Structure 1
Amino acid sequence: MVKLLLNPAILTFFNFPPSIRRTIYSTNLIEDFNKQLKKYTKRKEQFPNEESLERFLVSQFNNYT
């Protein structure tokens, strides 16, 4: 714990309001996004080749950001 508190970046983290800190700290958004990608890409028959799968993934990343 002491090592964590000595990290200068931790002070930057605590400068954010608590509501923002919760969002930054949580990985729920990332986990949800990965879950959605798995859901859509699990059925490989919808992608005739690897290139189409890659295009789909890139489009999903672009839509998400």
Structure 2
Amino acid sequence: MSEEKSLNPAVAIKLCQRCGQAFGCGAAFCSCECFSVSLSPEVRNQIKENYDDCICILCLKELEKSKKKE
């Protein structure tokens, strides 16, 4: 896992496995921004197959948006 310490103990700083940008992940504390993103089953499977850890909110939205264009 790619985590660093955060100033906010409820947020882990991670590096997005898709784009490499640092972002705050609060999933372990039930308060992550990604919880608000609705993903299709196809995109969820794509993420599971291609990434071992979190990806940032921008990448989540981009993957879902690109799927809707297909």
After TM superposition, the score normalised by the length of structure 2 is 0.31
Q: Whose Rg is larger? A: 1
Query: Larger % of strand: which?
Result: 2
Query: Larger % of helix: which?
Result: 1
Higher relative contact order (CA 8 A, sep 6+): 2
